[in-house]
Chains A and B, each alone.
Chain A
Amino acid sequence: MSAVSLAADVRAGRRSAVDVIDEHLARIEAGDGAIHAFLEVTATAARARAAAVDARVAAGEDPGPLAGVPIALKDNLCTRGVPTTCASRILDGWRPPYDATVVSRVVAAGAVPLGKTNLDEFAMGSSTENSAFGPTRNPHDPSRVPGGSSGGSAAAVAARFAPLALGSDTGGSIRQPAALCGVVGLKPTYGLVSRYGLVAFASSLDQIGPFAATVADAATLLGVIAGHDPLDSTSWDAPVPDLLGALGRGVDGLRVGIVRELGGEGIAPDVAARVGQAADALAAAGAKVDEVSVPAARYALSSYYLIAPAECSSNLARYDGVRYGLRVPGDDIGQMYGRTREAGFGAEVKRRIMLGTYALSAGYYDAYYGQAQRARTLLIRDFAAAYESFDVLLSATAPTTAFPLGAKTTDPLSMYLSDVCTIPSNLAGHPAASVPFGTGDDGLPVGVQVLAPALGEVVMFRVAAALEAAAPPGAGR
């Protein structure tokens, strides 16, 4: 059942929010032992909030567009009084003194958070295997990864533990797990959604976004969380367009460009075939489809693995044992820092801090970080050129279907390649959505990615809705 219909039922008094929440909590109880989507289930608070929603309905008030809808929250989103670990030992047990803006907004819209979902530690990873608290398993095949870093949120929606979830996307961390789990997931335009309360990884790349089973639900959730926030100085100060109104408009006359540099031999043949099928479906629906080149996309992966670690090395300097989280004692402050961070951070986080520190260090700053920033400018220019002739771009979301747990953990570089199609949108600050589109040869979900220019969410959703309508049967569970 879609979130939108669920909310309609609750608002009309046809279903009680408490019943809805109980039903979903029971599913989590029965099924999450095998999947481990959640790090924390906040059952008591959820039931209390559901009761409050029902009370408002009974009093003739409107509890909001997401009334009674269960929602799962990635555990790098601050939730006041509720543990927020970022799947790291360095924040184990920490309870934030404030709510993230997106959390306040979904709650004000009547949604009911069920708990905090698993992620790669500090959102660094593409498989959720970097969690300090054990991986999450793909609901379609528990021997496989759900993707990452928002693997828990993607799995929660795929397993029907909640119709909605929030994740964060810095290099593809919403879109890639959405593709691997067979759900809708998107990253909005940079600045459209407030980052206040999102634990920072790479501040010029991070964005919060929705997971849902349908494009309409994802658009509804985005509409609730989007919009200017004075608490986030990088938040875009302009009205949010009507995202839902565009959905049924179809794609007649729209120009769709298949990005050459995001295809080719890096993409598994079965995934590439689905992208081709998606392009054909759009053409059949009236779109003009052609190939397009975004030349600087070739350098996106390398640029990202200089910029993101550099920004992360700065953002993670705050984890020092002073004000929150883990503290390992030392004889002096320096020893305390060194021992705390050594004990508290996992291997991937340490690797990225090291990489970033190196890229920013004297003698290397311009050659690595400076160059990467200039490559970023080239990418933005190449996208701008492409968007002169096309309305949206198309590509695979991930190069393969879900890979087995452990398959890529010994070689960090092979893991990084999972994000080759998603990274360009983060560097450019553009929106992009992954829509489920059939399965691979192994029967596992495939996602097709729709890319749009900055603030192009409306046209992105139009195309995403058309793909959803034309999609071949997905992976049954």
Chain B
Amino acid sequence: MAARLTRDEVAHVARLARLELTDDELERFTSQLDAVLDHAADVASLDTAGIPPTAHPLALVNVLRDDVAVAGLARDEVLAMAPQAEDRRFRVPRILGDET
């Protein structure tokens, strides 16, 4: 399980993370990430039987507020910072393919 990280795995992870890495970066990151994971192997091999995970240090559960509508951000101010805005919306390139 502390297997050496392959370039293919790194390329797969880059796709998952929506990063269009260069070949150079793929090469470099493969060895750098491998080194970090190697170092993290001590945690991977810890005996944690019966130990619950901690996702969050505060003992907070289901923080709620009253279901009352409050003003959000100023729409025009938000859209003014958009790379492309049109008709009071964010404009983006094609999302769905021709088949749909």
Which residues of A line the B interface, CB within 8 A?
94-95, 97-98, 190-191, 204, 230, 233-234, 236, 298-299, 301-303, 305-306, 313, 317, 320-327, 329-339, 341-342, 345, 347, 350-351, 353-355, 357-358, 361, 367-368, 370-378, 380, 412-413, 416, 427-429, 454
Can you list 6 A-B contacts with CB-CB less than 8 angstroms, sorted by A residue number? Answer: A230-B65, A302-B40, A332-B95, A342-B22, A354-B33, A375-B48
**Cβ contact within 8 Å between B58 and A358:** no
B88 at the interface (CB under 8 A from A): no
**Cβ contact within 8 Å between A305 and B42:** no
Q: How many residues of B contact A (CB 8 A)?
A: 52
**Cβ contact within 8 Å between B58 and A299:** no
Q: B1-26: contact bitstring with A at CB < 8 Å (1 yes, 0 no)?
A: 10001000110011011111110010
**Cβ contact within 8 Å between A371 and B44:** yes
**Cβ contact within 8 Å between A305 and B40:** yes
Which residues does chain A contribute within 8 Å of B37, judged by CB atoms? 355, 358, 368
Provide the bound-state CA to CA distance between A368 and B33, in Å.
13
Which residues does chain A contribute within 8 Å of B95, judged by CB atoms? 332-333
B87 to chain A minimum Cβ distance, whole angstroms, is 15
Interface majority SS (helix, strand, loop, mixed), chain B: loop
Q: Which of A299, A361, A412, A429 contacts B42 (CB 8 A)?
A: A299
Provide the bound-state CA to CA distance between A325 and B82, in Å.
7
Which residues does chain B contribute within 8 Å of A372, judged by CB atoms? 40, 43
Which residues does chain A contribute within 8 Å of B63, judged by CB atoms? 233-234
**Cβ contact within 8 Å between B29 and A351:** yes
Q: B41-72: contact bitstring with A at CB < 8 Å (1 yes, 0 no)?
A: 11110101001111111101001010000000
**Cβ contact within 8 Å between B13 and A361:** yes
Provide the bound-state CA to CA distance between A334 and B20, in Å.
10
- Given A324-B82, A354-B29, check contact A329 B93 (CB 8 Å): yes
Which residues does chain A contribute within 8 Å of B56, judged by CB atoms? 204, 234
Kindly report which residue of chain A lies nearest to residue B21, judged by CB atoms.
Answer: A342
Q: B79-100: contact bitstring with A at CB < 8 Å (1 yes, 0 no)?
A: 0011110000010111100000
Which residues does chain A contribute within 8 Å of B58, judged by CB atoms? 190-191, 234, 236, 429
**Cβ contact within 8 Å between A367 and B1:** yes
**Cβ contact within 8 Å between A371 and B35:** no
Q: Which of A302, A322, A378 contacts B92 (CB 8 A)?
A: A322
**Cβ contact within 8 Å between B92 and A333:** yes
- Given A333-B92, A342-B19, check contact A324 B81 (CB 8 Å): yes
**Cβ contact within 8 Å between A303 and B43:** yes
Q: Which of A97, A317, A355, A375 contacts B73 (CB 8 A)?
A: A97
Kindly report which residue of chain B lies nearest to residue A300, judged by CB atoms.
Answer: B43
**Cβ contact within 8 Å between A302 and B17:** no
- Given A327-B83, A367-B44, A375-B48, check contact A339 B57 (CB 8 Å): no
**Cβ contact within 8 Å between B74 and A345:** no
Provide the bound-state CA to CA distance between A204 and B55, in Å.
7
Provide the bound-state CA to CA distance between A33 and B7, in Å.
42
Provide the bound-state CA to CA distance between A368 and B40, in Å.
8
**Cβ contact within 8 Å between A355 and B65:** no
Provide the bound-state CA to CA distance between A201 and B50, in Å.
30
- Given A97-B74, A302-B42, A331-B94, check contact A341 B20 (CB 8 Å): yes
**Cβ contact within 8 Å between B93 and A357:** no
B34 to chain A minimum Cβ distance, whole angstroms, is 11
Provide the bound-state CA to CA distance between A376 and B54, in Å.
6
Provide the bound-state CA to CA distance between A332 and B95, in Å.
6
Kindly report which residue of chain A lies nearest to residue B42, judged by CB atoms.
Answer: A302
Kindly report which residue of chain B lies nearest to residue A372, judged by CB atoms.
Answer: B43
Which residues does chain B contribute within 8 Å of A325, judged by CB atoms? 83
- Taking each of A301, A335, A357, which has the highest tally of chain B beta carbons within 10 Å of its own beta carbon? A357
**Cβ contact within 8 Å between A350 and B94:** no
**Cβ contact within 8 Å between B39 and A354:** no
